[in-house]
Structure 1
């Protein structure tokens, strides 16, 4: 099984963390699927990414356009069928155990200040590790990222 990285956000914004992780993925030559659960939320995230400025610009697009397969980062509510190397799940988007094998990297980002998001992430950890996926839990509770657990 592949590896899943859980990021427990308590200090950084979702946009900051996804910008950092997605930038590193793009440097590896990977295409990234940014999977959410709500099209309106992804639209707002799309707008925020465009406004982040030239220094942190990430080439991306919303799914449903004529050039989805060409987008380095595709914002979508459904799994992309175009062989992307990485998946970044936000807002409780589901990732299956089979997907961990099909991608170089899977990230699950969740709001550590939201008890429901934390509970959902715990369920995802249990399901994915129970299916044999290797998982690493990253926390920024001390203000910087620390590896807190590994399956």
Structure 2
């Protein structure tokens, strides 16, 4: 079963934090699926991942495009592992069944502090994961912007 890592974004937005996490994963040879039920979010991320830094971009694609299985980062409205990814990033209260966690090595649940619905969703998922004996951890950014494991 996958580890669930809950990233509580109090200082950074998803648009700021996600590209850096994906960059680190790709540098280690990993692959990812980024799932959101918000089509507008996925469209914005699709553009943002090409331009988030002047000196870098993240190769990625949409699951609706040809050769989706070849993409190192796949943007999707579903939590299917189309590209052989080890990590799933869940955004925008995208639901996942605890039983399907075996498809992933790690699931990163990202939620912004200013989004009350997202915080509520993360709490419910945390509770369900704990009841299902999943390994969970909670991460927050410190004042320097580095991630620290808090639970």
TM-score for the superposition, normalised by structure 1: 0.89
Partner SS for 1:55: coil
Cα distance in structure 2, aligned partners of 1:143 and 1:112: 17
2:125 maps to what in 1?
124
Write the distance in 1 (CA, Å) between the matches of 2:99 and 2:92.
Answer: 20
Q: Does 1:28 align with 2:28?
A: yes
Q: Pick one of 142, 146, 149 that aligns with 1:147.
A: 149
Q: Is the 8 A contact 1:11 1:143 kept in 2?
A: no
Aligned match of 1:39? 39
Indicate the RMSD between aligned Cα atoms, in angstroms.
1.7
Tell me if the contact between 1:19 and 1:56 (Cα under 8 Å) persists in the aligned partners: no
Partners of 1:80 and 1:2 in 2: how far apart?
Answer: 14
Whole-Å separation in 2 of the counterparts to 1:64 and 1:54: 27
Over 4 Å off, 4+ runs = none
Alpha-carbon distance in structure 2 between the residues aligned to 1:116 and 1:37: 14
Instruction: Judge which range, 46-55 or 68-77, deviates more.
Output: 46-55
1:100 is matched with which residue?
Answer: 101
Which one is further off, 26-35 or 54-63?
Answer: 54-63
**SS at 1:135's partner residue?**
strand
> CA 1:20 to 1:99, structure 2 compared with 1: closer, same or farther past 3 Å?
farther
The answer for unaligned runs of 5 or more in structure 2 is none
- Paired residues of 1:43 and 1:62 also in contact (CA < 8 A): no
Gaps of 5+ in 1: none
